[in-house]
Structure 1
Amino acid sequence: MSAPNVNRMIVIVGATGNLGRQVVQKLLARGVPADRVVAAVRRPEAAQELGVPVRRADYDHPETLPAALAGARRVLLISSPGPFGQRPAQHRAVLEAAGDVELFAYTSILGGERSGARLAEDHQATEAAIRASGLPHVFLRNGWYLENYRPSLAHAATSGGVSVGRQTGRPTQPAGSAGEIVGSAGPDARVASALIEEYAEATAAVLTAEAPKPVYELSGDVAWSFAELAAEVARQAGRPVGYRRLTPAEHLGVLTGAGIPEPVADLLVDVDAAVDRGELATKTGDLAALIGRPTAPLAEAVKRVLAS
């Protein structure tokens, strides 16, 4: 990775999600002047505290996009939160408005075209459109965020009721009964997760690099199993916590019963099938190389997620 260049204008499309907010912070921490970072968002009023210029950029109103991207030399498109199936069209609208930028970066999914998860289909279509555009590009293929499990981990560590939410811009897993984490992946299935902050730091490094690679497969240094995850939560909570494997149908029922729309719940069940196939256990070292240190070990990552 070459020395950072902090003088180009960088536009972050989708800057009010948890990842986007942290990318803005990491760019500023790397010395990029605040007036060279633009937050392009659907709701400008939600981004005023970021401390950088804010422009309206609504995927569903493409007429807002050329002005939002005006002057950009590098664009980061953080994948739309949905609806699933509609995201490729939303992403193409941003791509078409980007003009002749010198770099178009996109947050994709670990494995890219090799992934068999249905959650990957929108990312695969977007990657294909970006390649076809001819623009210089970089795919930041993010693995799973440990924060995706925040409601489950917090619930398992306490005796409270079921807690669900969309804390990360990705669908999150609800908890089962107190003291247990549930899912349809096997207890020995592994996930090489990392923290959102680590992905954000890596993204900022790429956006300020002179000559980034075209593809980064980003994941944690250690692939943990669900049994290990439950054991670590138990250790930190000081109470028994286990992992209970459900059938896909049972898992779907738990998700929809917690209020997650069935199409989203169905995708989450499919993610657990991908976990069983090992698709989220890939470790490449790209993330650690970009941030200049090993990713947080499971104990530290769980501690931070439980404290957040």
Structure 2
Amino acid sequence: MKCPKCGNEVNGNFCSNCGTPLSSRNMNINNSSFNNQMGYKPPLKKKSSLMGIFGFVLSFLGPLALIGIILAIIDLITDKQKHFKHGLSIAAIIIGSIMLFSSCASMMNSSRSNKSSHSNAAAEKITDTPTTVTPTTEAQTEVQTTEVQTTEAPRMTKEEFMYSCLNLNDVYKSVAREPSKYIGQNFEFTCYVISSREAGFFSGYQKYFVTVAYDFVKAQDVINRGWANNYSDAMGWSTDFKTSVWLMDNRNEDDSSYIKILESDVITVYGTFEGMTETKNNFTGESGEVVSLDIKYVDILS
């Protein structure tokens, strides 16, 4: 071998003339030629066997995992010379075992659920079987039903309803302060109708009227003195705006006893207190509560 620098013939790894080291390329060439001369062959890289590959794939396929495990075991036993890599075979055995275990567990759970469903169905059949009722039981049931029907309270007439009413003017502040005590109480209220309005779609009422208390006796005195010509004109002397009541109207207009209420009417209304009514000013956003009555009967005074 010649030195690449001075051209001197060199047998070792360094030039004896100039000291230049020989290149790794030359050394590799010498090593390869030496290996060829000695008959040495480098070891080949091992590959996975086809049986191990198939076993690995089948281990993921649920019921076929058992076949994958068998192929992996055969691959490990037959390759005694270790010509192939067996990592996939080992993985196939582990994964296949897990898949088989999960499949068995799911089958057991499904069988338990089927048993429970069958038991529930049997229980339903038992409960659905008709029971025989003796004639005496039927007779007793009929008697009890007739007793309940006879104990129902009859509907009050107009006169009876008016007689059951309290004067709202006498207890107005108490009703406004503690409304829960008066739920379901019947009241009569003489008032002046300030406005008539259509109720909202979801309110449950057709109309409602904004009214204030009206002192009929005081109004008559004003008329007698000549200060007013009628009860509507006497409104300024006989109304109390601090006692305001909303009248909720859901009466049947086709009823023969129906009396239509108009603005500026002076009326005595007979109704039931069902609770306070919430109010809201759309311009200012202020909200509050007001005493209200569900109208039952009306007498027009003026």
TM-score tier (shorter): under 0.3
TM-score, structure 1 as length reference: 0.16
TM-score (ref. length: structure 2): 0.16
**Bigger radius of gyration:** 2
More strand by share: 2
